[in-house]
Amino acid sequence: MELELQKTSFVDEFRKVHSIENHKACERTEGFNYLHDMTTGRLSQGESFSFTDLDFSRFTYDDLCDYMEYYEKHLTPKIDLANKLFSVLKTAGAVFSPDKRYY
Amino acid sequence: MYNLLNHQTLEVLDRMKLVKEFYDEGSFRIVDFMGKMGVDYDDFELYCWESLDEVAQNVDRNDLFYEDDEDITEDSEPYGEVWDFSSDDLREYYKLLRELKESNKITADDYAKRKKDMEDCICRYVLDTQCYYYGGVGLDITDDGISPSADCVRIYIDFNCSFDFFCLFCGLVAVFDKYTNLLNELKGTLADEKRLLEVA
């Protein structure tokens, strides 16, 4: 199994809104971009978010549905891949840990 | 990056859909309630359970037993709970409606329609949002103005069945916000009519 993940481009995938399928990034609605900035955008910068950080009047229900679709199609596969990779690294770390000494 | 990978963002966004739906319907407390909790997906249900008594001004909770009242012993295990929710705005709304009907300011049909609309609304908010579950939550609305527990929304919770506490909680917050909005709307209409009559 070969897994490759470039840290810079990985975080970049989450920081910016990307074009997918028939949806160009520049054509996304203001509400969509707002949701991205306040949720995934913040998480990609190591921050967290809360419901009170969000102004619910700045996006529509449709914006939210569109954003969920975008997240599911574009970002979830990348998160799954990264989680798989980190799990491999974690296992490897446990096996080769310098703390584990066998005499 | 750790945050990003471990955050159940999609699940949180899914929960946010319901919050947004109620916010658009006029619920003015829903965002504040949600803001009190973190966005850790696993904490949602627990927070909602703990905050259920803050949904309305008057909340009463009782255990439900299979046995009749006289047969309940220390060993009896409750199979569920019944919660009564009521607020001053809810009571005032129904009181005002009854007064308007009695003074013929609204017709009996209009009165019945307003009551039915609100019953439908409560079912939609509390039960229809349950999605896959539904079985563990029952609903009763009393608005007779006579019995001591009159004018309340009564929720039956069966521990043996599945239900979504988050949906139940959000639905109830939205219901009581709706009563406040309806009461203000009705009072506004009456004040406008009174003003028009005075001018005429």
Cα distances (Å, whole numbers) of residue B173 to A91, B4, B71, B177, B179: 45, 30, 36, 6, 10
**Between chains, do A61 and B31 touch, taking CB under 8 Å as contact?**
no
Q: A31: part of which helix (H) or strand (E)?
A: helix A30-38
Mean pLDDT of B45-56: 87
Whether A60 is in a domain gets the answer: yes
The residue-averaged pLDDT of B28-33 equals 90
Check residue A21 and report its DSSP letter: T
Chain B residue numbers with beta carbons less than 8 Å from the beta carbon of A86 are 5
Question: How many CA atoms does the CB half-sphere of A74 hold within 13 Å?
Answer: 23
Across A34-48, B79-93, B135-149, the highest mean pLDDT is recorded for B79-93
DSSP string across B127-141: IGGGTT--TTEEEEE
Mean pLDDT, rounded, for A73-93? 78
Mean pLDDT of A38-56: 85
Q: Is the pLDDT of residue B2 over 60?
A: no
Confidence of residue A32 (pLDDT cuts 50, 70, 90): very high
Which tokens sit at A3?
A: 């897994």
In three-state secondary structure terms, A5 is: coil
CB contacts of A49 in chain B (<8 Å) are: 39
Would you say residue A99 lies in a domain? Answer: no
Cα–Cα–Cα angle for B70, B75, B161, nearest 5°?
A: 90
- Which positions in chain B touch A44 (Cβ < 8 Å)? 1, 4
Q: How far is A43 from chain B (nearest CA, A)?
A: 5
This model of the complex carries an ipTM of 0.81
Which residues 6+ apart lie within 8 Å of B82 measured at CB? B61, B62, B64, B154, B155, B156, B157
Residue A40: give the domain boundaries: 7-94
Residue ranges per structural domain of chain B? 2-199
Residue A55: what pLDDT?
A: 93
Q: pLDDT > 90: what percent of chain A?
A: 24
| Nearby residues of A72 by Cβ (< 8 Å), 6 or more positions away | B10
Q: Tell me which residues of chain B, numbers 20 to 79, contact chain A at a CB-CB cutoff of 8 Å.
A: 20-21, 23-24, 31-32, 34-35, 37-39
**B31 φ, ψ (degrees, to nearest 5):** -70, -40
Interface test with A, best of B16, B40, B169 (most A CBs within 10 A): B16
Q: Give me the mean pLDDT over the A30-48 stretch.
A: 88
* Contact (Cβ atoms closer than 8 angstroms) between residue B158 and residue B9: no
- Three-state DSSP at A99 gives coil
Sorting pLDDT into bands at 50, 70 and 90, what band is B125?
Answer: very high
CA distance A32 to A50: 17
Tell me how many domains chain A contains: 1
* B39, closest residue in chain A (CA to CA): A50
